[in-house]
Structure 1
Amino acid sequence: MYLGIDLGGTNIKIGLLKNDLTVQEKLKVPTESETDSNRVMTNLIAGVKQLLVQTQTGTDQIKAIGIGVPGQMNIQKGLSIFSPNFANWSNVPVVQLIENEFHVPTYMDNDVRVNLYGEWQLGAGKGKQDVLMVTLGTGLGAAMITDGRMMYGKSNSAAELGHLNMYRHGRPCACGSSGCLGRYVSARGMVKTVQEHLAAGETSVISEWIQGDESQITAKMVSDAYDQDDQVARKVMQETGEILGYGLSSAINMFNPERLIIGGGVAAAGERLLKSTKEVIAGHALKVARDVCDLVPAELGPWAGMIGAGVYANQQAEK
């Protein structure tokens, strides 16, 4: 058996996978990412213990644990160096903390690479050798398999599309730069764009829903308002989709994938968001690269990261 863990900005998703990589049981616990690394790791360990108790599974039955963590990392040392989704988070020894608690071999990777391992083996990337995956969640992440191998780069930060600079002097990013793609195309980015439209005096049904408390705005509200023909929501979807289109055009030109998988919670907006994305790609990606690339939704759903982490644990343990 394997444990897969997806450390998200909002929830930690934990799953027990059988040897054939089917999910036996899963649960999620709040991350509390606005606190600090001690609280987040305490929540994670408590969640794993809860799942083991629920399933009456002993740690001796677990062959390996896989965990996907957003941000920059030293995979060899099991260190999460920096994550834009977490407060008070620097050089966190994620692998050591988990291994000290459960005494099971633990393998960490970037959350999107872990997602892609899952989609590549069990989902939308099956049978493909050049696959780019972009996840739209709290932030924007990406990973790339080229010639049948995951791209890592010298510092394990290859294919970091979330930090493509889209505006010379744009919104500040936690990475230290500004104008990054992920600051516009993500749940947080969409909320910020809504707030900017409301601050400019535009009227939206979203204002009625939040009763003056802008901290209550969510990306899902934008989809719901869009379906009511709300003009602010429609503008926000179009703007966000277009910016994504320009970012993906650059990625298609750079990586030449045969398949581009879009996943993550924000991707649930579907064509509301992606219609303008596809229009921009059609007009801006190199034709020779665009013609061999299809854009498809992820297949493994909101638990993709957890499933992929279990797949990754299996792959590492079998080496």
Structure 2
Amino acid sequence: MDKYIIGIDLGGTNIKSAVFTSEFEPILERSDSTDAGLGPAHVLGKIKIIIKTMLLESGIDRHSVLCMGMGIPGLLDPREGISIFSPNFPHWENIHVVKEMQREFPFPVFIDNDVRLNLYGEWLHGAGVGRRNIVLLTLGTGLGSGILADGRVLYGQTSSAGEIGHMNMVREGRPCRCGSSGCLGRYVSATGMVRTFTEELDQGRESLIRSWVKNDSQQITAKMISDAYDLGDPLAIEVMHETGRLLGFGLATFINLLNPELVIIGGGMSAAGDRLLGTVRDTIRKHALKLSSEACQVVQAALGGRSGMLGAAVYAARRVEGKW
């Protein structure tokens, strides 16, 4: 009997879901809005419906599913299957995700941090194939990172290694749901960049985008800032470069500490490409140790939005095999 693997990438904005063969060939993929503000019970219920729908549409019996992997933002206990805290998900604390899923499905379910699962995907099937020292960042609703050091993914004592988004970059800066303030992710993320932009508009700065949204700043998106950048909008260019500069300082510290050979930038905001990464690379070159920075490339993710789903499937399969 053929076996299948499900990969779920839970993001602050979208739930990306896929069914793969045991050889990680995609059978079916989809993306649905997360509706994070409606709470964990709603989100988990929606994931269950998505899984049932995918299996029905692909004609796969649930008993033919070998396992399922789920990437979840924030702090968690992957061995116990508990999501401890997720800063972009209201009321998301100590949620036993695995137990909730296994009430509905007969196959084993495994969870891990969403960025680590993106790292597994890019390392084994994307931009990081053959590399042993990688830092992967996802730039989306928030900012997270996963670390591969000498061929091993780092977890740390509480499975929270790599929380670059909570590196304090601005003293007494924007408050963060982690309890601190000035965290890098409050500035370097789609949400953070849009906030920087709207704060400048509130100070009276002008931009093409003001007319695009008819002065409704809540309609501004990171993509609009990229589009305005391409049209030569001075404020969009300034904000994009400032975001890249802050990310560059954060990565310079990571490069000095970890000495990676590759930094992979993924997540929806990575679509900004060299508009953002040009400033990131320039800042790293100026502020990281010369020997370390010259040995490290900064590249875009190769798998795009698929890396989290694929990484989740790979991770689950290896957990079933007892490899991780």
Of 186, 197, 214, 2:200 maps to: 197
The one-letter code sitting in structure 2 at the alignment partner of 1:231 is P
Question: Contact (CA 8 Å) 1:82, 1:91: kept in 2 or not?
Answer: yes
Task: Give the TM-score, by structure 2 length.
Answer: 0.97
Range with greater deviation from structure 2 (87-96 or 243-252): 87-96
Structure 2, unpaired ranges of 5+: none
CA distance in structure 2 between the aligned counterparts of 1:48 and 1:17, rounded to whole angstroms:
12
Is 1:266 matched up with 2:246? no
Name the SS of the counterpart of 1:101 in structure 2: coil
Q: Deviations over 1:279-306 (max 9, x none)?
A: 1100000112112111111101112111
The 1-side partners of 2:31 and 2:270 are apart by 20
Output the CA distance in 1 between the equivalents of 2:80 and 2:20: 25
Which residue, 25, 30, 34 being the options, matches 2:33? 30
Q: For the residues of structure 2 that align with 1:280 and 1:13, how far apart are their CA atoms?
A: 33
Matched, 1:49 2:42: no
Asked if 2 retains the 8 angstrom alpha-carbon contact of 1:169 and 1:179, the reply is yes
CA deviations over 1:233-269 (Å, ceiling 9, x no partner): 0011010000000000000001110111111100100
> 2:225: which partner in 1?
222
Is residue 2:258 matched to residue 1:255?
Answer: yes
Contact 1:30 1:43 in 2 (8 A): no
Q: Deviations over 1:158-199 (max 9, x none)?
A: 011011100111111111101111011101001101111101
- The amino acid that maps onto 1:297 is Q
> Is there any run of 5+ residues in structure 1 with no aligned partner, and where?
none
Which portions of structure 1, spanning 4 or more consecutive aligned residues, are displaced by more than 4 angstroms? none
How much has 1:212 moved relative to structure 2?
Answer: 2.2
Q: Which deviates further from its counterpart, 207-216 or 234-243?
A: 207-216
Q: CA deviation at 1:314?
A: 1.2
1:34 CA displacement: 1.2
Contact 1:112 1:135 (8 Å CA) reproduced:
yes
Q: CA deviation at 1:123?
A: 0.3
Q: CA deviation at 1:13?
A: 0.8
Shift in Å, 1:315: 1.1
- CA–CA distance in 2 between the matches of 1:132 and 1:62? 31
Return the letter of the residue paired with 1:72.
Answer: L
> Deviation at 1:312?
0.8
Cα shift readout 1:115-172 (whole Å, capped 9, x = no counterpart): 0001011001100111110110000010001111100000000011011100111111
What one-letter code is carried by the residue in structure 1 that aligns with 2:37? E
Amino acid aligned to 1:37 = P
Task: Kindly provide the amino acid, as one letter, of the partner of residue 295 in structure 2.
Answer: V
Please give the secondary structure, in 2, of the residue aligned with 1:169: coil
Match of 2:150 in 1: 147
Quote the residue 2:123 is aligned against: 120
- In the alignment, residue 110 of structure 2 is paired with which amino acid? Y
What is the rounded CA distance, in whole Å, between the counterparts of 1:44 and 1:81 in structure 2?
A: 18
Whether 2:211 is the aligned partner of 1:211: answer: no
Of 280, 284, 287, which residue of structure 2 is paired with 1:284? 287
Aligned identity (percent) is 48
Are residues 1:76 and 2:79 paired? yes
Partner Cα distance (1:305, 1:108) in 2: 12
In the TM superposition, 1:165-184 aligns within 5 A as: 165-184=168-187
**What is the CA-CA distance between 1:223 and the residue it aligns to?**
0.3
Listed one character per residue, the Cα deviations across residues 71-105 of structure 1 (whole Å, up to 9, x for unaligned) are: 00011111101101111211111111111111210
8 Å contact 1:253–1:289 — kept in the other structure?
yes
1:295 partner SS = strand
The residue type paired with residue 218 of structure 2 is: S
TM-score in terms of structure 1 length: 0.99
**SS of the counterpart of 1:266?**
helix
**Alpha-carbon separation, structure 2, partners of 1:156 and 1:68:** 13
Mapped to 2, the partners of 1:113 and 1:160 lie a distance apart of 11
The equivalent residue for 1:186 is 189
From 220, 238, 243, the equivalent of 2:241 is 238
Amino acid at match of 2:129: K
What root-mean-square deviation, in Å, do the aligned CA atoms of Structure 1 and Structure 2 show?
A: 0.8
SS at match of 1:312: helix
Deviation at 1:307, TM superposition (A): 1.1
Q: Which residue identity lines up with residue 162 of structure 2 in the other structure?
A: A
CA contact (8 A) 1:140 1:162 kept: yes
Question: Secondary structure, in 3 states, of the residue corresponding to 2:79?
Answer: coil
Instruction: Give 2:167's aligned amino acid.
Output: L
